[in-house]
A and B are shown apart, each in its own frame.
Chain A
Amino acid sequence: MMAELISIAGKAVKSVTKFGATHCDVLVTNTRTLSADIEKGSVKQASMANDPGVAIRAFRNGSSGFAYCTGHDAKSIDRAASLAASQAKAGTPDSDFKGLPEKATPAKVGGLFEPKVADLGSDDVVGMVMELAAIAGDDKRIYSSNASVNISVCEVALANSNGVEMTQKMSSHDMVAESVAKDGSDMFSGFDFYSSRRFNADALREVGESARDHAIKGLSQTKIETGDYPVVMDPLALGFLLANAVGAGVNADSVQRKRSYLAGKLGEKVGASLFSVTDDPTIEWAVGSTAFDGEGTPARKKAVIDKGKLSSYLYDSYTAGKDSVQSTGNASRGGSAWSYRSPPSISISNLVVHEGRSTFDQMVRETKNGVYLRATFDHPNLATGEFSGLMMESYKIDDGELGPSIRQATIGVGLVDMFNSIDMVGKGHKDCFGVRTPAIRISKARIGGSA
């Protein structure tokens, strides 16, 4: 199959060149997905999809045109090639474009594909989601459990006009569970998820129990007064926040356009010395791992924040050319499965927050009057570097003890202030939203409360 995909890609490169492109790259993908969903404890849907497609990017005088088509038939690919070339011709010349990646050897990265995932059938996926929902619903206080399990196998072939020809096969296994607990008119939901390139039967129990336990824990609720509090941040909340605050903040395109609060801060202190972050696409079985990026640059690990100092931005070939540096290999075509439906764009692979020495219990025990934030889904303002959002799931900490969940409260903090106020970094980690991170504690954030 890989030989067939790379042959399609190679032919398409020739076709785009024939239509007048000076540079081009072609991605050919074939993704097979199986999924199953549970609604209120009962199997609701089983799905399968085969999604072949081709993405073509053409350049002319530095101007970029992009076209994609569903399927692999020659007629559609030729039409897409023609469109990509004509779109490039229509665009404005761009002297900042210095060329696409040259031929290179992909990085050796283990754990991109597990044959066992490819061998799973619809019965297996349905069986897994049933087990997950059963665990998530295993308590008389749980009113409803909803769950999904998804597996995919994605084959990609990438070729460009510099002779790059690379292929790889990636697998993924994802699951999510939501438990809804009820006590009289009080209601609360807990959720958790797992995502990896490897099949992991043990994850069913961990995810199901976590969703169930948080739903029950959240039934006991309190309010909080507006004020400044230390905050223990769960990997779930921190991963979502850092994917944007650091991941998007160090995007070289945003930096070059001066849209990021981290522009002009390279080499400067932006966080506490116990805060270090790397971008690492070479981690075995992590969903953002890859042997090469979406343009064909070999994958490599790089420090982003080193002991509080901003040490690198994330580049693709265009932004690297503009800054006269090497691409960091962060041109992304998607996470666990690559997509042909959009052009490559700069993104984190696996952002890794370095672990510390504190246990979660220590962080709570050493917090006199504070907050444990488990989940928020808000985006920071990258221009100002300010963050304000809802604490969707949070708990009061009183005298070092974890208390009831906090109802209707918000958090506000400047991002650099937040990074500088990290005073405890946890042991262990969880992969959340492309970020592998432990829990951390920050000494102060503004909490808006309803008490």
Chain B
Amino acid sequence: MEDLARKTIDHAVKAGARFADLRMESSTGTNIVVMDGKTKTVTAQIEAGCGVRAFIGGAWGFAVTNELSPGSLKTAAESAVKMAKVAQAKAKIKFDIKAGKSVVKTDEYPCREKPTEIPVEEKLKFVLSKDKAMRARDKRIVSTNARYDDFEGVRVVANSFGTAVTTKETWTLGACSAWAKSDGVMQRGHASVGNVGGHELMSTADAVGLGEEAAEMAIRLLDSKPVPAGKFTCILDQKMTGLMAHEAFGHACEADAILAGASVLEGRVGEVVASEEVSLIDDPTVESTFGYFKYDWEGVKASKHMLIDKGVLKGFMHNIETSSRMGSTPNGSSRAQAFNSPPIIRMSNTYIGGGSWKKDELIEELKDGLLIQGAQYGYVEPAKGQFMFKCDEAYAVKNGEVGERYRDASLSGVILEVLKNVRGVANDFILGDPGYCGKGGQSARTTDGGPHICISDVVVGGLA
């Protein structure tokens, strides 16, 4: 594949590309879904293809082929250059890609049990056991959904600087959802584990207990009420802190949003944007996480990004283009969902660093407010400066005591205000659940995390 990749880059340069790169991939994967004790789908994927990008004077061309033959790759390279020429002819903003060092490396994610060497029957046995565990947990569990995903592939990233990085990537994910019903009330619980690595990850304690965890959450939520709407001081658990770090601030720190004029953080590097207790980091190099990678999808070595240091905005996540245009260096933040999508700037493992408070001290100090636990999903519009994230469960805190349980609270905030309203950061840091982040129609595996934190003036959406 490396040889084909180099020849394809040569074709693009000969055809007129000022800079060219590609992602060539060959992969297989499995997806198993079991619902209510029966297999719903058992899926095998076979993917192969290449996406070629060509750059000319301020614009990109991108072309995709599903065929890894020399002829198809040459055609894709020429098409990418043709598209770049069409775009460049009309581009108003002209810029160049700063010459970079070539990186020639091979990396293989740690993997003890390759998914391709595990019979599908064994994978299915794992999923069926999770489904059974949910249904066995309580007779109020009325429906179940257990899922398993694995991916094993080889990706070659090559560019006209001479870069040729081969990554052998393996990851696995298990997830459970349980629906519980009692007295006409229906609730859903969920749990997931995911990491880079092979099938051995499905033997970890977290994976083994997935079914019970999802079922227990569904049962617990049966005894919950709709959350009251309004403005509250909230303590977020580690998962919600992570989701907030990702949605409330992470996306606004992606340099492509800055160049698009679509982030409220433009021009604010060096400014105080958060309480002094807050440091925000994105770090793809944390091993044994779902957001891990060693080289990004432009072949740049990944590194830890300090986005906010003790309340001060320090910088952004960059790719080759944004670093060229903003006088920075690429810091390994470029990712593509697959060969058929152009790489864009993405987060990896995003978290708020630990502080000095104990969780109990935060609750005592809070007096009246909400304790928010478990993350469902969130989204942000960096140009509007607003974000939202939804939790699994919330608890009333009155006079420093945790009380009544609520469900389905949505929390909203304003990017430039929320982190300034942090009143305390606890010392119980953990990285949370694996997840997928969506941007520009592409999905990327990520992890979020942090400690418990206390924030004032959070607007909570609810029915009560």
Q: Show the binding face of A for B, using Cβ within 8 Å.
A: 36, 39-53, 63-71, 73, 76, 79-80, 83-84, 86-88, 90-92, 94, 122-123, 126-127, 130, 143-144, 146, 178, 180, 187-189, 218, 226, 257-259, 261, 341-343, 377-379, 381, 383-384, 386, 388-390, 392-393, 407-414, 446-450
Contacts and interface: CB of A to CB of B under 8 A. Distances in A.
Interface string B375-398: 001010101111110100000000
Contact of A180 (B48, B256, B261): B261
Interface in B82-123: 82-84, 86-88, 90-93, 120-121
A218 B259 contact: no
B62 A447 contact: no
A216 B339 CA distance: 38
Given A87-B120, A258-B143, A64 B40 contact: yes
Contacts of B384: 187-189, 218, 392-393
Contact of B381 (A47, A258, A392): A392
Given A87-B120, A122-B82, A178-B383, A257 B46 contact: no
Nearest to A145: B261
B43 interface: yes
- Top-5 shortest CB links A-B: A410-B461, A144-B261, A448-B229, A390-B388, A91-B39
Interface of B: 34-49, 58-67, 79, 82-84, 86-88, 90-93, 120-121, 124, 128, 142-143, 179, 181, 185-188, 226-227, 229-231, 256, 259-262, 264, 340, 342, 377, 379, 381, 383-388, 390, 407-410, 412-414, 457, 459-464
Contact of B44 (A66, A71, A447): A66
Nearest to B125: A90
Nearest to A96: B38
Given A390-B388, A408-B413, A45 B185 contact: no
A390 B461 contact: yes
Contacts of A342: 43
Given A45-B61, A48-B79, A388-B409, A414 B463 contact: yes
B93 A46 contact: no
B408 A410 contact: no
Contacts of A53: 66
B388 A378 contact: yes
A449 B463 contact: no
Given A50-B64, A63-B39, A378-B410, A146 B262 contact: yes
A304 B462 CA distance: 28
Contacts of A71: 48-49, 66-67
B38 A94 contact: yes
Contacts of A42: 58-59, 91-93
A309 B229 CA distance: 30
Contacts of B88: 43
A178 B46 CA distance: 36
A47 B34 CA distance: 38
5 contacts: A71-B48, A84-B44, A87-B120, A342-B43, A386-B463
A394 to B, nearest CB: 11
Given A46-B87, A187-B385, A52 B62 contact: no
Given A46-B86, A189-B381, A189-B384, A448 B459 contact: yes
Contacts of B186: 258-259, 261, 383-384
B42 A90 contact: yes
Nearest to B410: A388
Given A258-B181, A259-B179, A410 B43 contact: no
Contacts of B460: 410, 448
Contact of A43 (B36, B91, B381, B412): B91
A381 B42 contact: no
A47 B63 contact: yes
Given A392-B386, A410-B412, A257 B457 contact: no
B420 to A, nearest CB: 14
A343 B262 contact: no
A43 B463 contact: no
A66 B226 contact: no
A444 B168 CA distance: 55
A257 B82 contact: no
B248 to A, nearest CB: 12
Contact of B229 (A127, A257, A261, A446): A446
B60 A50 contact: no
Nearest to B55: A45
B459 to A, nearest CB: 5
A449 B226 CA distance: 17
A43 B260 contact: no
A294 to B, nearest CB: 14
Given A257-B143, A410-B461, A381 B381 contact: no
B277 to A, nearest CB: 23
Nearest to B462: A412
A126 B86 contact: yes
Nearest to A384: B186
A5 B188 CA distance: 43
A449 to B, nearest CB: 7
Given A189-B384, A412-B464, 9 more contacts: A39-B93, A45-B60, A71-B48, A76-B46, A143-B261, A180-B261, A378-B410, A448-B459, A448-B460
B39 A410 contact: no
Contacts of B124: 90-91
B179 A46 contact: no
Nearest to A412: B463
A425 to B, nearest CB: 23
A64 to B, nearest CB: 6
B461 A50 contact: no
A258 B59 contact: no
Nearest to B230: A226
B412 A409 contact: yes
A41 B49 CA distance: 32
Contacts of B142: 258
A47 B410 contact: no
A448 B462 contact: yes
A46 B61 contact: yes
B44 A83 contact: yes
A123 B90 CA distance: 10
A450 B64 contact: no
A189 to B, nearest CB: 4
A341 B45 contact: yes
Nearest to A58: B42
A75 to B, nearest CB: 10
A180 B264 CA distance: 10
B410 A49 contact: no
